[in-house]
Amino acid sequence: MRKTVGLLILLLCPSGAMAARLNAPVNCKVWSSFSSRGSIGETILKEIRKTRSKLSLALYGFNNQVIAEELVKLAGQGIMVRVKVDKDKSLKKRHRRVVRLLREAGISVEAVGRNGKNHNKFVVIDEARVLTGSYNWTLMAEQNWENLLVLDCPELARRYEIEWEKIR
């Protein structure tokens, strides 16, 4: 009887069921990187170089030329690279240079955050891994106390991919 009621709820309320699943706990392999132990930018480079098909980035600040050049290289290898950056932040001089570099390489870059800031700091790699934390992809971040989590978790990566699609 309980299974039947649960199935009816899922069928009658699919959006509610989806929301419940999106908030459900998942088991993932997780490791951390801290600026006190070295460059988080280097960790990001190491992780994104493992990409085989697709990168979806949602960032507040992004003016790290070295990481941008790596994204250009990956796009040149046929990897889909999609970037959403904060609209206001992307207009600043250093950030504008990176946005221009990415766009000139054919990378999709969307300036978002019409009703607030796009304060996200995550990348989804191959719909299987997520990099997220306090680290802005900026030169200044290399001088700050920052952190990064690497989540090897397809289920969580799908949730982040869904969130990436919603960012406007």
Residues 6+ apart with CB under 8 A from 17: 9, 10
- Where in the chain are the domains? 28-166
Tens of each residue's pLDDT in the chain, 168 residues: 444 333 333 333 444 444 556 688 999 999 999 999 999 999 999 999 999 999 999 999 999 999 999 999 999 999 999 999 999 988 888 889 999 999 999 999 999 987 889 999 999 999 999 999 999 999 899 999 999 999 999 999 999 999 999 999
How far is 62 from 143, CA to CA, in rounded Å?
15
Q: What is the pTM of this model?
A: 0.85
Q: Which CATH architecture group holds 28-166?
A: 2-Layer Sandwich (3.30)
